[in-house]
Amino acid sequence: MGFRVDQKPVMEYSEGIMAVPAVPGAGKTFIVANLAAKIIKEKLKKREKVLIVTYMNSAVNNFKNRIKCVLEEQDIKDINSYEVMTIHSLALRILKDRPDVVNVNENFKILDEAQKSVYLNECIKSWRKFKGERIFKNVLNENGLKSYNNKQERYWNNFLTIVTALISELKLNDIQAENLDNKLKIFNNKFSVIRDISDIYKNYTKRLKLDGYLDYDDILILAYKALKRDKKLREKFQKKYTYIFEDECQDSNIVQYKILTMLSEKSGNLVRVGDINQSIMATFTPSDPKFFKEFCSKADKKYTMYMAGRSSKKIIDLANYLVEFIINNHYQKQCREALQNQKIQEVKGIEGLKNPSNDESNLYAFLLPSWDKEIEKVIESIKIFKKKHPNETIGVLITSNYKINKFVEKLDKENIDYDNLSSISKDKVKIVNIIGYLLKFLAEPDSSIKFKIFLDVFIDDKYDKKDLILQFIDNYKNPYDIIYRDFEKIKSNNNIVLLIKIIENIRKIFEYYYISIDNLIIFIGSIFDFNIQDKALIQAVALYVKNILREEKNVVLNDIADRLIDKNNPIFVHIGEIIYEMEGYEPSPEKVTIATYHKAKGLEWDCVFLMDNTEYNFPYTLKDKIQSDYWYIKEEIKNPVALGKAEIEKLKGNIVSVNPLIKSRIDVINEKVRLLYVGITRAKKYLILTANFNKNSNSFKTQSCSRYFQVLKNFINSKEV
């Protein structure tokens, strides 16, 4: 297959530092895979390797398969000349080589992000009992205090997000917990977010050390330190990886950038590919698009991949118009660099490859009087589209998980099949309920009601013999009779094969009934046929229970079960968001895909609905309501993450000249417009933007459509599409 005119300069690369900005749908994976194959064929010496670093685990397998296919097509048999991994996998490999260099025990364990949430949640609970409740209430405004009793779980779940972000910032800036008190003296008696969370940070660090864990931030910073301190270690990896490619580098953080720069120092061969216009994670992770922007300005070579075959010209024109409007006309001058002047062009010069036709494409924009009316309009449109285009895919992008739940309730009533990719879909927390109701039964094994409830939760509603199984167990007043007394008699019943398997596992569980509850949960996860994500969540549940047992000596099985099935317990929603990655997800015409704008990155559909384009979700001016500002916290400290990051800069000895609250608002405005851009560029043929307005006497609930929606709607109408 040939290469486009914008791809050819990239494919001519042979050595040096190269930056490759690329528009959405430009074929970043394709070009990196082909360039890696070319380097393997033409440039590599014996024992040298090409290293490809990508952001997500799901992208690792995609790259491996792509490169393998290219090598096979070119009859290149040296399949061991490349490695693909995430930055954390690379850092782990470095650290395991010489843990002693940074005083780490070689038997350290890895604390994944889900487990990290459990540990931090328990540290927050301890802090809350000690003095945290008082400190927290002191920062609430009048409305926050009034609503505290009803909304405290939500507030504390938000606090977990705040603490997670700031502890990551502290670690990646190498500000260690044991040195923090001394550093904090520079603030004297002034209010300090970092001082308030310092006890949580110290407790978290202590617990990890006690249990032999390192979290991902530890692994990154320690790997960097090990490379910096140990010349032999550094040279070993520099010699091994003579070419380094990084994908999605708009999502890099400073430590990742430093590690890859250090590894490429000797060879001088580093290629970084990304799209600043798709940087949509910087406001809630340590990533920052400025690192890629700086790299682009300093690289020996810079080639932009500006062609994309994904979308029709109508959709491309709309995306480009948004870029043009932001750069030239944004009301906030500080936001005119939110999008780079990187216009998408249609594919040309490649036989058999062209963009979807404008004749089979269209754009629409609808403004509705409420969120409920917006839902009705979209569902009505989905029905019409599916009838007209039964073989085409549909994606519905919504701004929050909460609103997705409201939307899918309506889809259920309309019997429209869908895939819910949100982090709090029922499927993603179902495993916690299964474990909870199983523990409920184990606490009262003679309860036929609790046995039936467990089976009802465990067996999928779509299983055709579910009702038959539930009716069958109604014949038994005591579960003991079916599990033991009559088990041999019923084993041959082909209508209850699944029930037999469940009972066999329950019998095994009873044999291990004497072990601790956390280990019992791990054992349950090992004997049932759960998928890899469910098993990861079960590990997190076990860790959560282990921490409870450590803190509360008199807790019993039934107490643990109640906490697991408590719908108001937010920790597992948070963990589920971390664990469930859309590995290998491909939209299909049979089902409508429902996702947040963030989850949609990397996906594409024939028809895309972009919902909830309100001022709150896509703010335009500094006067608009901003999501990173917590409405229930006092005005001067309403964005604790922004204040905490500014304090970290001061702890490093840097001068902070800009008001951090204003800077954070600008950052959010910039990131939100990039999020809208990402949404637009998911569509191939049809794009429908919807928004709603709500005039309410309560000023907080009053909202209007976003300025961007108005601008794009006017553009659509002017083109008469």
**Annotated binding-site members for ATP:** 22-29
Considering Cα of 168, then 173, then 174, then 178, what sign does the dihedral take?
negative
123 in Cβ contact with 210 (< 8 Å):
no
DSSP string for residues in 473-500: HTT-SSHHIIIIITHHHHTT-GGGHHHH
Q: How far is CA 149 from CA 534, 572, 608, in A?
A: 33, 21, 40
Q: How many CA atoms lie within 13 A of 386 on its CB side?
A: 17
* Amino acid making up residue 425: S
Q: Which spans in 139-192 are helix H? A: 142-146, 148-172, 177-183
Measured from the Cβ of residue 137, the count of other Cβ atoms closer than 10 Å reads 13
Can you give the C-alpha Rg of the chain in angstroms? 27
Extended strands (E) in 372-483: 394-398, 418-420
Quote the longest CA-to-CA distance of the chain: 79
What whole-number distance in Å separates Cα of residue 375 and Cα of residue 368? 9
Let me know how long the chain is.
721
Q: Of 217, 109, 97, nearest to 166 (Cα)?
A: 217
Residue 626, both tokens: 């901003």
Residue 658, both tokens: 């800009």
Quick one: how far is CA 353 from the chain centroid? 32
3-state secondary structure 442-461: HHCCCCHHHHHHHHHHHCCC
Q: How far is CA 506 from CA 484, 499, 523, 525, in A?
A: 10, 10, 11, 12
Report helix, strand or coil for 269: coil
Which residues are within 8 A (CB) of 41 and not within 5 positions of it... i.e. 6 or more apart? 74, 76
* Secondary-structure percent of the chain, ordered helix, strand, coil, rounded to 5: 55, 10, 35
What whole-number distance in Å separates Cα of residue 706 and Cα of residue 189? 41
User: Of all helices (H) and strands (E), which one includes residue 198?
Assistant: helix 193-211
594 in Cβ contact with 407 (< 8 Å):
yes
Residue that is written with structure tokens 């467990």 in the block: 454
Q: How far is CA 28 from CA 199, 274, 318, 428, in A?
A: 44, 8, 22, 30
677 in Cβ contact with 339 (< 8 Å):
yes
Residue that is written with structure tokens 């140990």 in the block: 230
What whole-number distance in Å separates Cα of residue 250 and Cα of residue 273? 8
Measured from the Cβ of residue 145, the count of other Cβ atoms closer than 10 Å reads 12
440 in Cβ contact with 450 (< 8 Å):
yes
| Binding site members | 22-29
Measured from the Cβ of residue 403, the count of other Cβ atoms closer than 10 Å reads 18
Report helix, strand or coil for 542: helix
Strand partners of residue 244: 51, 270
645 in Cβ contact with 162 (< 8 Å):
no
Q: Which spans in 565-639 are helix H? A: 571-579
19 in Cβ contact with 296 (< 8 Å):
yes
Q: How far is CA 286 from CA 173, 463, 641, in A?
A: 10, 43, 11
